[in-house]
Amino acid sequence: MIFFDNASTSRVREECLNILTHFYINEYYNPSSLYSPSVKVSTKLKQAREGIIKALNGSGNLVFTSGGTESDNLALLGLSLPKYSNIVLSSVEHSAIYNTGNHLKQLGYDVRFCKSDSVGCVDVASLIELIDDKTSLVSIMHVCNETGAINDIKLLCRKIKAINKNIIFHSDGVQALGKIKIDLDDINVDLYSLSAHKINAPKGTGALFIRQGINLTGILFGGAQEKGLRPSTENVAGIFAFEKAIKLALAEIKQHNETFRQIREKIMRELPKIDDKIIILSNENCADNILTFASNSVRGEVLLHALSDREILVGTGSACSSKNKTHRIPEALGLQKDYHDGLLRLSFGIYNTLEEADIFVKELSIAYDYLKRFKRS
């Protein structure tokens, strides 16, 4: 099986599994309990938190959540934004931001969506145009989950705060973590979302970085865990596996990106030979692990199934919206209409090899040639 859908989720790595097993069976104690084995877990939790903050060079706090979606929700809904203020998001944000934005709109906020270029990068002029003295929050993803496009968050933060220094800047870093360099103090974001299961740690764990001085209130109510910002017994096993996965991912980032680049280049070279009308959306400025392309001859979903029959797993874009038939993303990318249903996203992970790229190209070519015969009218 060739798994080229690592941006949707990923296999838990052995090093994380060992940690999970240990905390499931041995140190399973509730970190809020008062006896010493619990205090030990609680101390380790503190160390994991500090370890992650340090690894990402952030001056602030880190709240553990159930995943990227909850982190995004906590960021946008946990801020007590002034009524009548406006909020600016990009039009290619993940649904966890996009739909939370729509919810804020329903609550009466003026939610504005800035344009992106054809790769999924925020159009800086369009973003700046939407900012004014009533803007309270800007949320722009670091790496686009659909195309791998990298936004220059440092530049955006600087430009935006130059216009209005009170703006809070959030970035969804779910697809950036372990794929590109993250230096939270350098890019100067106020809030930054992370997810574990995209970097070979288990599903059900995420985190939100909160810069010192940013006031957030919890969106769930209950116990006093996570400094009152996120009640519920902490998923300690998941958190410790997450910490390990982050450290490993950061240590191996160059090595894996080199492989991803080679895989991507090989496939990019071959795609025009399969069909010279294929549009490649990702470019060399995108994160190395994502390659998205579109066809106007074969539907992405059909191609996905044909490849799946040949033991190759790819995506048609975000899994979170794969069952929702909308064209929000291709529209935002300005893709020609006849390509809208032809999107395919390949996303590589630590277990992929260059040989798999060869097999992929071969199988894609066979499947594509076969399917093109049934070209949509």
- The span from the CA of 192 to the CA of 351, in Å, is 27
Tokens of 323: 């069952």
**Count of residues touching its own copies (by CB under 8 A):** 74
Instruction: List the interface residues with its own copies, window 94-133 (CB under 8 A).
Output: 94-96, 99-100, 102-103
> Which residues 203-232 are close enough to bind its own copies by CB under 8 A?
203-205, 219-225, 231-232
Does residue 12 belong to the site contacting its own copies (CB under 8 A)? Answer: yes
Q: Report, in Å, the least distance between residue 219 CB and its own copies.
A: 7
Per-residue binder mask for its own copies (CB under 8 A), 73-92, x = binder: x-------------------
- Active-site residue list: 320
The CB-of-293 to its own copies minimum distance in angstroms stands at 17
Q: What is the 3-state secondary structure (H, E, C) of 272-307?
A: HHHCCCCEECCCCCCCCCEEEEECCCCCHHHHHHHH
Cβ proximity to its own copies: between 60 and 68 the closer is: 68
Q: Residue 223 or 272: which CB sits closer to its own copies?
A: 223
Q: Is 55 in the site for its own copies (CB under 8 A)?
A: no
Residue keyed to tokens 């499947």: 367
Give residues 269-328 in contact with its own copies (rule: CB under 8 A).
301, 304-305, 307-309, 313-316, 318-324
Q: Does 193 bind its own copies (CB under 8 A)?
A: no
Beta strands in the chain (DSSP E): 2-3, 60-65, 86-90, 110-114, 135-139, 168-172, 191-195, 206-211, 279-280, 290-294, 312-313, 343-347
Closest-CA residue to 347 (of 296, 293, 276, 301): 293
The answer to whether 74 and 65 have CB atoms below 8 angstroms apart is: yes
284-308 b/e with 16+ CB inside 10 Å = b?
eebbbbbbbbbbbbbbbebbbebbe
For its own copies, the closer of residues 141 and 304 by Cβ is: 304
Rounded least distance, CB 202 to its own copies, Å: 6
| Identity of the residue, 60 or 206, whose beta carbon is nearer to its own copies in the bound complex | 206
Identify the DSSP state of 226.
G
Q: Which residue, 11 or 159, is less far from its own copies as judged by CB?
A: 11
Q: What is the longest distance spanned by two Cα atoms in the chain?
A: 70
- x/- mask, its own copies, residues 230-249, rule CB under 8 A, reads -xxxxxxxx-----------
Backbone phi, psi, residue 126, to 5°: -65, -35
Among residues 174, 219, 179, which one has the least CA distance to residue 192? 174
Interface region with its own copies, contact rule CB under 8 A, candidates 30-38, 141-149, 244-252, 361-369: 30-38
